[in-house]
Structure formats: structure tokens, C-alpha cells
Amino acid sequence: MRDLGRAVTEAAEQFVRRLASPIPVLACHQHFLRDVGKDLLCEGHDKLRTLFRRIDIRKDIHAFVRKLGYFLGKRIHEARVDIQSWQDEPVQEVDLPEGASGIAVVRALAQWTLDFPTDGNNEGFPFDLPYLDFYARCLHAYWAVDGFLRKQSADPKTKKFLARLQKMLARMDCDVPPFAQVAKDLDKRAKLFAELRSALRLQPKSKRGKDLASSPAASLKTANEFEDIRTAIEKLTASLKRRRPERGPAKDIPQAIDIILTDLERHAPFLWGHVITVSKESGSVRLVDRTNNILEGFFHGMKHGERRRSGRKILTRDFERLPPGAALALNLTCSDYVAIVCGSIENLPQAFSKLDEGNRRRSLPARAEKMSRTEADTASMTLADKRLIRSEQMEKRIVAAAH
């Protein structure tokens, strides 16, 4: 079971050629899906990201939120309570509250726009498309602001801040720069990618229930389940060939379909063959996991531990200097391994202390920094604000105002 990297692919082929009895080489379905997703969505997502960076709207909204935090000052704590009360009112009443509470609602609306990463499943690109989610939130926020301004019920100060937010978001609702066309093409490709993902039955973490992909390794229990997935891929392939237009002005969809069909054809010999016959006489078989998530998870755990130890995000140099024996430390969870190394778990501290007995250094005492409490919220997104803008009532308010 391998990923789709060129080096690993060549190494697996060389290894199999040296064997007296060849063994099957399988490609990880998760890596295959990720590879197709990158080919399918990377160009459009990069275009959308470039457009956002060109107008620098995130920076403007962050500065706007911080400015409102300074403006509200000590009143922000009472305003949050008023926002909660406003959210609990019937959705039909879309009028903004007055005074500091109304300004706090405008601030919360801007913060909701910046909170687009929560729309994803925390799986990274291409399974999450953060800039497409940001574009959708900007549009909904713009329509909501427009709806609030049409009500003519807000006080002058609140209307002033609403108009300022509307001016920042108005760039999303025009043809120059071409946000709409880029986002539309990206959305179409994302739907094709979702079809492939559904056929492979590798659903997002948040959608995994008692279905096929409920475990990280997407383990299957019967050979029939493998055949169901293969049948679904064959049906999708036939459907894509029928839907691919031979002629017409729309060139993006044919190109997207060709990417999926080409990758399916190229990797088809390594996507199937997970049912391994153990005994022809008894007819017993063994099923291989469709992904190499077990190995990936082991390496991820090592990186997570090293990040906690060093505090660094980029670990390339750390792992280059990490001794090979570091991976063996996890064997200490096995009782027989502990018995060989030090006899019992109680003797483990002494065994470790002898390893570096000749080269010890005294550690400096940690100095706790005292956090000074500020009355005004200068940060663009605090924990208290997140609880408000991520509530179901806040989303209902925005949808109601946008319509």
C-alpha cells in the first residue's frame, strides 16, 4: 500500500521486481482522491486567493473589527449580552438594536465574515476550499448589510458603520475583479470532486457515521463492499463520459472531466485488488485497507509530539536530526518490550537517566507572564465573540436580512 509520489512508486516497483513471487502493489484511495482534487481545484482556488490578496479585504475587515472594539471600549461586555438577546428574538424582526448594541451587531457581522474556516472540515485543501467559503460569506454578509440599511431603522452612528462595511464588501458583488466567474467555475469543479469522493466512500470527518468510511483507515469488512465501490466508480466514469460536451463555449467543464477520467485510467491498475486469497481450498480471503492512514497516523503522532516539545511548526530540520531509535520509544507501551529494556515500568526513570548521565544540563525555570486585562477588546476575534458569531441564531439573522 503506497501513496502516489513518484519516488515511492518507483521504489515499490523496484522492490517487487526483486521478489521471487510478485505481490500486488496498491495505491492509497485517500492519496488518489487528494491528487485528483489538487489537479482539479488548485488552479481555480489559487485564482480566487490571488483576487482576495489583490484587494486585501481580510486586512480591511480585521482593521474594521478592531476599530469597533476600540470604539465600544468598556461597553462591549454589556453589548454582547444585548446581542444575545437580539439573537433570541423572532427571526422576522431583522431590525438592528440601537446605540452600542447596534454597533456591536455590526462588529459581530464583520467577525462572522472572517470566521469562514469553520465552514470546512479541518481536512485541508483540496477537501476544504477556504477562499470559496470566504467568498460565500462575504456575499451573504453584503446582502445582510444591504437588508439592514434598507430598513432605515438603525441610528445614524450604526448606519455609518454599516455603510462602511458595505463599501468593503461591495467588491464581491461586481464583475471587476471577476470574483463571480472564478468562484462559479471553482464551485462546478468542487461538485465533480464531491461526486468522486462519494463514489469512493471517503466522506468528510463530520459526515462519517456508521457508513463505510467511519474509521480513519476506511476498513471494509466484506469483499462485496469493495465491489460496490468499484461499481460506483464505473458508473461515475460512464456518467462523466456522457456529460462531457464535445463542443460548445464552456471549456472548463470538459477539462475538469478529462482530469478525473485521465487519473482514473492512469491509476486504475493500483486502485483495485484489495481482496487477497489466502487459501484456494477453503476459499478464505483477507481484505486490505484502502488507505495507508495507519502509517500516516503514526508519523503524524510523531510530528505532533515533536511540535509540542520544540514549539516549532516547521519540523524538517528536527526530523533530519532525530535519531532512528526515537520511533522505538512507542514500544514502551508494550509490556514485553518494557520487560526487556528495564524489567518493569517502575525502573523506566532510572533506565532513561543512565542514557544521558554524562551530559546533563540544568533547565531554566519557566517564567509565567502575567496577562494584563484590558477593558477594550483590541483583538479582532476573541473567544467571547466566537461564541456569539458561531451561534445558530446569528446565521439565521444573516440569512433573514440577506433575503
For residue range 288-331, list pLDDT tens digits in order.
Answer: 888 888 878 888 888 998 899 889 888 887 887 777 677 888 88
pLDDT at site 380? 62
Mean pLDDT (the chain) is 83
Largest CA distance in the chain: 85
For residue 194, the one-letter residue type is A
Q: Are 276 and 285 in contact (CB under 8 A)?
A: yes
Between 132 and 361, the more confident residue is: 132
How many Cβ atoms sit within 10 Å of the Cβ of residue 75?
17
* Alpha-carbon gap, residue 398 to 143, rounded angstroms: 8
Determine the pLDDT at residue 98. 85
What's the pLDDT band for 165 if we cut at 50, 70, 90? very high
Give 44's pLDDT tier (boundaries 50, 70, 90).
very high
User: If we measure between CA atoms, which residue out of 93, 100, 101, 111 comes closest to residue 148?
Assistant: 93
79-121 pLDDT, tens digit per residue, is 888 888 888 887 766 678 888 889 999 999 999 999 999 998 8
Q: What integer pLDDT is reported at residue 93 of this predicted model? A: 61
Using a pLDDT cut of 90, give the percent of the chain over it.
37
How many other β-carbons are positioned within 10 Å of the β-carbon of residue 384?
11
The residues that bridge with 27 in the sheet, in sequence order, are 2
Distance of CA 93 to the CA centre of its chain: 35
Total residue count of the chain as it appears in this document = 403
CA distances to 8, 34, 42, 270, 278 from 11, rounded to whole Å, are 5, 21, 27, 15, 26
Distance of CA 19 to the CA centre of its chain: 40
Distance (Å, rounded) from C-alpha 226 to C-alpha 272?
8
Cα gap 52→61, rounded to integer Å: 12
Q: Is the pLDDT confidence value at 211 over 50?
A: no
Which residues lie below 8 Å from residue 7, measured CB to CB, with a gap of 6+? none
CA–CA distance, 81 with 78 (Å, rounded to integer): 5
| Better pLDDT: 212 or 322 | 322
Is the pLDDT score of 372 beyond 90? no
Is it the case that residue 216 has pLDDT exceeding 80?
no
Rounded-to-integer distance, Cα 402 and Cα 105, Å: 15
Q: Which residues pair with 284 in a beta bridge?
A: 279
pLDDT at 366 over 70: no
Residue of 152, 168, 49 whose CA lies nearest to 109: 168
Q: Per-residue DSSP letters for 304-349?
A: HHHHHHH--S--HHHHHHS-GGGGGGGGGGSHHHHHHHHSSGGGHH
* DSSP string covering 264-320: HHHHHHHH---EEEEETTTTEEEEPPSS-HHHHHHHHHHHHHHHHHH--S--HHHHH
The predicted pLDDT at position 400 comes to 85
Q: What pLDDT, on the 0 to 100 scale, is given for residue 274? A: 86
The confidence score (pLDDT) of residue 136 equals 94
pLDDT of residue 381: 73
Q: What is the mean pLDDT of residues 28-46?
A: 94
What's the distance, CA 192 to chain centroid? 18
Out of 65-69, 77-81, 356-360, give the one with best mean pLDDT.
65-69
- Does pLDDT of 209 surpass 60? no
Which pLDDT band, with edges at 50, 70 and 90, does 374 fall under?
very low
Tell me the C-alpha to C-alpha distance, in Å, between residue 126 and each of 49, 50, 53, 171, 251.
Answer: 14, 17, 19, 26, 22
Beta partners for residue 276, in sequence order: 286
Please give the model's pTM, rounded to 2 decimal places: 0.74
**Contacts of 399 by beta carbon, 8 Å cutoff, 6+ apart:** 140, 144
Mean pLDDT in residue range 252-275: 91
Determine whether 359 is exposed, middle or buried from the number of CB atoms within 10 Å of its CB (0-12, 13-18, 19+).
exposed
